Amino acid sequence: MSDIYPSFNPLVNPYPAARSVHYARKGMVTTSQPLAAQAGLRILQQGGNAIDAAIATAACLTVVEPTSNGIGGDAFALVWTKRELHGLNASGLSPKSISIEKVKALGHSEMPKHGFLPVTVPGIPGAWAELSKKFGKLSLAECLAPAIEYAREGYPLSPTLGYYWERGFAAYKRIAQTADNPEIFKPWFETFAPADIAPKIGQIWSSQDHAATLEEIAETNAASFYKGRLAEAIADFCTKNGGFLTAEDLAEFSPEWVQPISTDYRGYSIWETPPNGQGLVALIALNILKGYSFTTRDCTETYHKQFEAIKLAFACGKEAITDPAFMRVKTEDLLSEAFAETLRAKIQATAAEPQAFLPPKSGTVYLAAADSEGNMVSFIQSNYMGFGSGIVIPGTGIALQNRGADFSLDPAHANALAGSKRTYHTIIPGFLTKNGVPLGPFGIMGGYMQPQAHVQVLMNLIDFGHNPQAALDAPRWQWTSGKNFEIENHFPRYIAQELTRKGHAISMALDSGGFGRGQIILRDPSTGVLAGGTESRTDGAIAGY
């Protein structure tokens, strides 16, 4: 850094700050990275529609936010176009040859989080190609051009990105040091820490391999990734190092168009993608909560009922959600009014102990896009836990996800590991309509925080009249296990004390990074004007015109 450049800490702002709602008429993109939002806007201004902009933004995010997603991850989307809401599930299956017995034979009592074992077929490139083919106006090559440019020419790291990059580097250092075969992590360091040090905030990072891979995906409409040279490189590196993912697994993958699921909440239809996604958890919780009347957000009873509803919804979701072909209960039964009443009756005046689980930390990116034609996209993609498995395919920049870590090694569990199976999936895009009229996309990334944040943000919008930005900025809470909840440091202290007296175990988090990062775009049906909110807990940005 130049000695004439003023010294400052980009992660510190000692003053409370408020963002205003952003408005635009012709198009808008909201996401966690300013450069990615601008990439989407660029595509809109070049004649692309919201679907093209979403693809461009998503591809760019694999370059400018690799701490949370990458080419080797999964994606889900809700797309409003042609007067209809369409759902896309681009989550990959487990390798055909993997099994509980084989994983246990390797000395594991639970699914590992890193290395080759938790790697499932990546769905992101397939999602881009499918969205482009079905609904796009521009070519996939045109949509991926901004991402290729950033990968090749480089870009300076933004503050939150640099913070998580440094944390990821330290984590993978520890993982490699204790691994049986540390050499498998060498390509990760060559790609993301080429001088054996994480790039710093404001420093420029580039990846020629990443650029070349994106170009190949663009030129072949992702065919190379599943049946060509890139597929061969992925399969070869996996099989040579004891992984289960094969060329056949990749060749058999295709994204699936699915029917979105919804529930009515105070006259609004809340839409999610169906299982294997966990959007069902948010809908179950909202079904419970709509049986109460809420007038004040910041009061003990509001939070108590939210806490108990989300615990019950997660207990149900973790018991039931998996690959739809393996589910033992129907989604419509879990969303029935009778089931909601049954769960609501379990909520008492004090905190209850649910059948709980311990949510792991994770990384995901979310974006929303809209255009002047009325097209709107809710899109989310992820490598799961930060950079993912730690496996990068040499010479490609492809970081593989560790989504398989969510499989259970208990054969009796609904989400038990099996070959060619989709696991319980944390990433969930959301969409809001009323009386059949589309209002817009919303989403909050962050592992098991996502359905919890969907509930909180939607109630902020619908019950408490917050604007899109305020709905995102409001203090959040997070259930972690049992009766345990984390709250942000600006959560009302007196309410936290009262919740403790109701039996909840409350702890205050010093870092807001685990409370999700969201985006919202709402479209006024009478004028077409777009109103957007973006996440203040990260480097969130809105680009519109």
Residue type, 237: F
Q: How many CB atoms lie within 10 A of CB 481?
A: 14
- By CB atoms closer than 10 A (0-12, 13-18, 19+), residue 177 is exposed
Cα distances (Å, whole numbers) of residue 472 to 292, 396, 460, 468: 23, 36, 8, 7
> 451: closest CA among 260, 270, 280?
280
- Here the tokens at position 340 are 């909601």
- Letter string b/e over residues 79-110, b meaning 16 or more CB atoms within 10 A of that residue's CB: bbbeeebbbbbbbbbbbbebbbeebeeeeeee
Pairwise CA distance, residues 38 & 542, whole Å: 8
- Letter string b/e over residues 323-356, b meaning 16 or more CB atoms within 10 A of that residue's CB: beeebeeebeebbeeebbeebbeebeeebeebeb
Say if residues 443 and 428 touch (Cβ distance below 8 Å): yes
Pairwise CA distance, residues 545 & 534, whole Å: 16
- By CB atoms closer than 10 A (0-12, 13-18, 19+), residue 416 is middle
Cα distances (Å, whole numbers) of residue 189 to 178, 194, 394: 15, 6, 11
Cα distances (Å, whole numbers) of residue 72 to 35, 121, 143, 397: 21, 8, 18, 9
Cα–chain center distance at 339: 28
Indicate the SS3 state at residue 70: coil
Catalytic annotation, residues: 364
Q: How many CB atoms lie within 10 A of CB 497?
A: 11
Pairwise CA distance, residues 451 & 311, whole Å: 11
| Cross-strand partners of 519 | 443, 534
- Here the tokens at position 516 are 């999700």
Pairwise CA distance, residues 397 & 71, whole Å: 8
The residue whose two tokens read 């929303």 is 368
